[in-house]
A and B are shown apart, each in its own frame.
Chain A
Amino acid sequence: MTSDPPRGRAGSPTGSFYAMSDDEEGEYNTITHTETGRGVKLLYSKSKVYIHPTPSAKDNIPGYIALLQQKGAPGERPTSSSSRISNSPASSDLLLAWLPESSLGDAAGIYVKVDLTDGDSPPKQTFLVPSPPTVTTHRGSIGHYAFAIPVSAIYSLLVRPPSVGWWFGSLVINTRAGDSFPALFFHDSECQSTILQKKKLARESFDPFGENGQVFWGGDEVLRWLRRYIHIERSGAEPNIYLVEPSKEDSEGFGGKASSSAPNQVGRSNSSRGISVRGAAGASPAGSSATHDGGMDPVMKFVKETGWNIMEKFSKVTTFTRKTAQDIMDNPKIPPQVRRLMGNPEVQTIQNEFDSARIYLARWAMGIAEQSERDRTQRIWTARDVMEMEDTDVGEFELLETSSMSLEDRRNCVTLKEWNSFFDRHTGRLSMTIDEVKERIFHGGLDPDDGVRKEAWLFLLGVYDWYSTSEERRAQLASLRDEYVKLKASWWERLVDLGGDGEEGEWWREQRGRIEKDVHRTDRTVPIFAGEDTPHPDPNSPFASVGTNVHMEQLKDMLLTYNGYNKDLGYVQGMSDLLAPIYAVMQDDAIAFWGFQRFMDRMERNFLRDQSGMRNQLLTLDHLVRFMDPRLHAHLEKADSTNFFFFFRMLLVWYKREFKWMDTLHLWEVLWTDYLSSSFHLFIALAILDKHRDVIMAHLQHFDEVLKYMNELSETIDLESTLIRAEYLFRRFQRLIEAIDKKQNFPAPRTRPNSSQTTRPGSSSLPQQTNGKAPEQANKTISPELRKLLSRNVEILPRKAVHKRGDGFAI
Chain B
Amino acid sequence: MSGNRNYDFLIKLLLIGDSGVGKSCCLLRFSEDSFTPSFITTIGIDFKIRTIELDGKRVKLQIWDTAGQERFRTITTAYYRGAMGILLVYDVTDQRSFESYAPIGLLVLPGRRVSSGLAADTGFCIDIRTWFANVEQHATEGVNKILIGNKCDWEEKRVVSTEQGEALAKELGIPFLEVSAKSNINIDKAFYNLASDIKKRIIDTSKADPSSSNVPVGRATTEAGGKCC
Contacts and interface: CB of A to CB of B under 8 A. Distances in A.
Nearest to A355: B49
B180 interface: no
A503 B108 contact: yes
A648 B44 contact: yes
A354 B49 contact: yes
A513 B96 contact: yes
Interface string A700-711: 011011011001
Contacts of A355: 47, 49, 62, 227
A542 B74 contact: no
A657 B43 CA distance: 10
A607 B67 CA distance: 13
Interface string B182-196: 000000000000000
Interface string B9-48: 0000000000110000000000100000111110111110
A610 B94 CA distance: 27
Contacts of A506: 101, 104, 108
Interface in A537-592: 542, 546, 570, 572-574, 576-577
Interface in B36-82: 37-41, 43-47, 49-51, 62, 67-69, 71-72, 74-75
B1 interface: yes
Interface string B89-107: 0000110100001001000
B174 interface: no
B109 A657 contact: no
Contacts of A518: 19-20, 41
A522 interface: yes
Contacts of A701: 226-227
B39 A649 contact: no
Find the residue from B41, B44, B157 having the highest chain A CB count within 10 A: B44
Contacts of B38: 521
Contacts of B140: none
B43 A648 contact: yes
B51 A573 contact: no
Given A525-B39, A704-B62, A507 B47 contact: no
Contacts of B124: 507, 510-511, 570, 807, 809
Interface residues of B, number: 44
A268 interface: no
B96 A510 contact: yes
Nearest to B40: A521
B125 interface: yes
Interface residues of A, number: 50
A610 B104 CA distance: 24
A503 B100 CA distance: 12
A573 B69 contact: yes
Contacts of B104: 502-503, 506
Contacts of A353: 31, 49-51
Nearest to B69: A573
B120 to A, nearest CB: 10
B122 interface: yes
B43 A653 contact: yes
A357 interface: yes
A724 to B, nearest CB: 27
B215 interface: no
Contacts of B74: 609-611
B6 interface: yes
B63 to A, nearest CB: 11
Nearest to A55: B229
A286 to B, nearest CB: 28
Nearest to B46: A711
A709 B75 CA distance: 20
Contact of B39 (A510, A524, A611, A705): A524
Interface string B217-229: 0000001001111
Contact of A574 (B43, B62, B108, B223): B43
A457 B1 CA distance: 52
B6 A542 contact: no
B1 A514 contact: no
A807 B51 contact: no
Interface in B202-224: 223
Contacts, number: 114
Nearest to A703: B82
A517 interface: yes
* Secondary structure of the B contact surface, majority rule: loop
Contacts of B67: 573
Nearest to A296: B32
A648 B19 contact: no
Nearest to A576: B41
Contacts of A702: 223, 227
Contacts of A645: 44-45, 75
Contact of A573 (B71, B125, B226): B71
A649 B46 CA distance: 10
Find the residue from B74, B108, B121 having the highest chain A CB count within 10 A: B74
A528 B43 CA distance: 23
B72 A611 contact: yes
A652 interface: yes
Contact of A807 (B46, B122, B226): B122
B176 to A, nearest CB: 23
Contact of A352 (B6, B20, B44, B94): B6
Given A355-B62, A514-B69, A502 B108 contact: yes
B150 to A, nearest CB: 12
A356 B225 CA distance: 11
A358 interface: yes
B37 to A, nearest CB: 8
Given A514-B20, A648-B75, A357 B101 contact: no
Contact of B45 (A502, A607, A648, A807): A648
Contacts of B109: 503
A584 to B, nearest CB: 16
A548 to B, nearest CB: 13
Contacts of A648: 43-45, 75
B190 to A, nearest CB: 19
Given A506-B101, A510-B125, A657 B226 contact: no
Contact of A572 (B71, B96, B121): B71
B41 A521 contact: yes
Find the residue from A506, A518, A653 having the highest chain B CB count within 10 A: A506
A524 B41 CA distance: 11
A354 B31 CA distance: 10
Contacts of B125: 510
Contacts of B1: 357
A609 B62 contact: no
A502 to B, nearest CB: 7
Nearest to B1: A357
A352 B51 contact: yes
Contact of A708 (B41, B47, B93, B157): B47
A542 B20 CA distance: 11
A502 B122 CA distance: 14
A646 B40 CA distance: 18
Contacts of A356: 227-229
Contacts of A610: 74
A517 B19 contact: yes
A685 to B, nearest CB: 13
Contacts of A609: 71, 74
A525 B6 CA distance: 37
Contacts of B69: 514, 572-573
Given A518-B19, A711-B46, 12 more contacts: A352-B51, A356-B227, A356-B229, A511-B124, A513-B94, A522-B40, A522-B41, A574-B41, A649-B44, A657-B43, A807-B121, A807-B124
Closest 5 CB pairs of A and B: A649-B44, A648-B44, A517-B20, A573-B69, A649-B43
Interface of B: 1, 6-7, 19-20, 31, 37-41, 43-47, 49-51, 62, 67-69, 71-72, 74-75, 93-94, 96, 101, 104, 108-109, 121-122, 124-125, 157, 223, 226-229
13 contacts: A352-B6, A502-B104, A502-B108, A503-B109, A510-B96, A518-B20, A573-B67, A609-B74, A611-B72, A649-B44, A704-B62, A705-B227, A708-B47
